[in-house]
Structure 1
Amino acid sequence: MIRRRGILAVVLLIILIVVLRSSTSSAETNSKSEHAQQDSDQNWNPAHRIPPQGRAIGSKHQVTIDDLSDRPLRDRLRYQFPYDLEGKFPAYIWQTWKVTPASGHFSEELRPYEASWTELHPGFVHEVVTDSAAEHLIRYLYGAIPEVVEAYQSMPLPILKADFFRYLILLARGGIYSDIDTLALKSATEWLPDSMDRLSVGLIVGIEADVITEARPDWNKWYSRPIQFCQWTIQAKPGHPVLRDVVANITEETLRMKRKGILTGSRMDKTIVEFTGPAVWTDAVFRYFNDPQYFRFSGNNHPNVTYMDLAGLKEQKKIGDVAVLPITSFSPGVGQMGAEDAEHPLAFVLHGFDGTWKSD
């Protein structure tokens, strides 16, 4: 009798767990659907922005996966990773490397760099994602958007995947991405001035090059754009439209080259910088600044933001929901284009510029 009662108790416990899991899953699903329909591209400044384009997806009835299957890639990315401007920046730090710091094979030269991020961000989750773990993580996060997974897996060079991963992880989870050879000089909580409301900022980018301020005839041998944003350090809230755009752009270009049979390390019709690097990243940011779906324009034929608007930047500048940091912030000590040294108050991240890790 006692044994039967024990068996009965176990059965009842299992049933209770199943019911609770089912209820929680249903609640989460309903919550996600509601957030998607509300369009989380929040209107941070009505004076400079029209109603968000996300409402083009939504309707008064619940959107299903079947409804989305024929939608353009950007629409599906928006639905999968909604943008909530008024949320906080997630407390994540993402980096990639061949092995984790726990491995004895982790480079001793990189340990001070990696440790600096943990030391200055004690409340953050700091993840160094290995190449093999990245493959699994992208399949998990983007399983509902198979062409993104296909594009990532089809890339022929490790540096292409490393570039693509930073945009993918920030779009899906948000937080900070920074290359493994960067040294954190100040906590990300100090990157914005007190006068700038963090709840009105969804993306933080830093200037890498400003050849307008310091002209040089050979600038295009070193940089791809007169004003170029670095992509070795980015902070974002998940779902930001710039990340959505750059992920869609890279996915489409990858699959285009794959169909043409030129997606190899030696046959691509784009350089790495233009394909996944700072050129495509810079273009995506400026495209956002000049997108009438997000910003109101002062004139019919005038761009909203040009390179000249950011030339010689000496302090943080907010454009819509994007905070642009001066060249000193992520590129201190380069000795050109107006960059100050690493002791400057606006120096936040020091880049090691150790290109050997990329070829590995």
Structure 2
Amino acid sequence: MLTFRRSLIAAVCLIAFVLLLRTTHSTVAIDREPGVPAQQPPGGQQQDTGLPQQQQQQQQQQLLSSAPPASASLRDRLRYQFPYRLEAPFPAYIWQTWKYAPSSVWFQERLRPREASWSQMNPEFVHEVVGDDTQGHLIRYLYAAVPEVYEAFEAMPLPVLKADFFRYLILLARGGIYSDIDTTALKPATVWLPAELDQSTVGFVVGIEADPDRPDWHDWYSRRIQFCQWTIQSKPGHPILRDLVAAITEDALRMKKKGILYTGKMDKTVMEFTGPAAWTDAIFRYFNNEEYFYVEPGSTRNITYEDFTYQQDHRKVGDVIVLPITSFSPGVHQMGAGDLNDPMAFVRHDFDGSWKTDPSL
């Protein structure tokens, strides 16, 4: 009897020791209604509790039990891996991509002044230009716990698809600013938002790309209001990015399974698969998602393109700041965009359209 009791105690101690050694996230993925002041989430864990060891062990076990099983949906696993913290500051990262890193002799000289503008305007930020040969390794590392995301990224048949997907992936995992290599920073990112705005209530900044108020708008753009994807700012884990990453991954793997994830065979265009159409739809899905916004019972609309047409200043919708077309498209001389010297002009886009050089597009 004594031997059995000793064995039982030893087994319990061993299990407890293994649980304590296992590493996991220090926070639980909790989404709140956008714009609501931060509250201590139920079952959450503070950064420095100062609690007795026994209570800390109990909290650690709660965190372990909160991890979703392998059978959980992709969105739930992404939510856990990349928790969204509205009250946290925007990370001081600037991400860009190009075929070659700036250190390469193949990095085009015409791009150097544009690339340098981001560091000059934001000297306190970490600025990274990620080359094509590095992107896959970085995504594989960041998304090791959700391997289907890397599988989808690697299966993309066109560089433009990977470039689109990468910006969403890096912002979901690390946050900060993404901007295309053919953009020039006109003002520091620290002045993009009004000084009086409480940034603990903002988790996402997006600009309007197009507001074509004309009968033939669909001949020129994919959506009546189209949001800009060449410059984006986000805190890690934002639900817009989580939803879009999951949607693109699911579409990619679906087409891969059908044997049509090839140039000229896909059942979605670049615009609808990873581009501005998919991007704009994801933002509107968020604005109309009852999990995050109040939607009038029985109503079929909450936020539509009509809420953003002719916009001239910042617009806060929940935890999202929508900037007018002038902010990321100054000097285009159409759709109400202001000039480069406009107070709301933050980023110039030169519309090089290098993605159009991809074959079969």
Q: What's the TM-score, normalizing by structure 2?
A: 0.84
Check the 8 A contact 1:142/1:148 in 2, yes or no. yes
Q: Give 1:233 deviation, angstroms.
A: 0.3
Distance 1:79 1:218, change over 3 A: same
- The residue type equivalent to 1:123 in the other structure is E
What do residues 196-217 of structure 1 show as CA deviations (whole Å, max 9, x unaligned)? 2111110000000112xxx223
Check the 8 A contact 2:339/2:345 in 1, yes or no. yes
The question of 1:41 aligning with 2:42 is answered no
Aligned to 1:8: none
Aligned to 2:58: none
Check the 8 A contact 1:42/1:86 in 2, yes or no. no
Check the 8 A contact 1:43/1:52 in 2, yes or no. no
Aligned to 1:143: 144
Check the 8 A contact 1:52/1:294 in 2, yes or no. no
Check the 8 A contact 2:225/2:309 in 1, yes or no. yes
What does 1:278-289 correspond to in 2, within 5 Å?
278-289=276-287
- The residue type equivalent to 2:191 in the other structure is E
Aligned to 1:186: 187
Distance 1:217 1:115, change over 3 A: same
Distance 1:52 1:346, change over 3 A: farther
Q: Give 1:303 deviation, angstroms.
A: 1.6
Aligned mates of 2:63, 2:187 — CA distance in 1: 44
Aligned to 1:354: 352
**What secondary structure is seen at the aligned counterpart in 2 of 1:85?**
coil
Aligned mates of 2:118, 2:156 — CA distance in 1: 29
Identity %: 61
Aligned mates of 1:45, 1:172 — CA distance in 2: 21
Structure 2, unmatched stretches of 5+, are 1-19, 45-60
Q: Residue 228 of structure 1 is aligned with which of 203, 226, 235? A: 226
Check the 8 A contact 1:158/1:358 in 2, yes or no. no
Q: Give 1:166 deviation, angstroms.
A: 0.1
Check the 8 A contact 1:120/1:187 in 2, yes or no. yes
Aligned to 1:16: none
Aligned mates of 2:238, 2:95 — CA distance in 1: 17
- The residue type equivalent to 1:156 in the other structure is P
Residues 287-296 or 215-224, more deviating: 215-224
Structure 1, unmatched stretches of 5+, are 1-25
Distance 1:298 1:354, change over 3 A: same
Q: Residue 255 of structure 2 is aligned with which of 251, 257, 262? A: 257
Aligned mates of 2:124, 2:67 — CA distance in 1: 40
Aligned to 1:11: none
**What secondary structure is seen at the aligned counterpart in 1 of 2:316?**
strand
Check the 8 A contact 2:184/2:348 in 1, yes or no. yes
Aligned mates of 1:179, 1:54 — CA distance in 2: 40
Aligned mates of 2:320, 2:189 — CA distance in 1: 15
Aligned mates of 2:43, 2:233 — CA distance in 1: 22
What does 1:337-352 correspond to in 2, within 5 Å?
337-352=335-350
What does 1:6-85 correspond to in 2, within 5 Å?
29=23, 32-33=25-26, 35-36=27-28, 39-46=29-36, 61-63=62-64, 67-85=68-86
Aligned to 1:323: 321
Aligned mates of 1:119, 1:80 — CA distance in 2: 33
**What secondary structure is seen at the aligned counterpart in 2 of 1:252?**
helix
The question of 1:132 aligning with 2:130 is answered no
- The residue type equivalent to 2:181 in the other structure is I
- The residue type equivalent to 2:23 in the other structure is T
How many residues are treated as equivalent by the alignment? 325
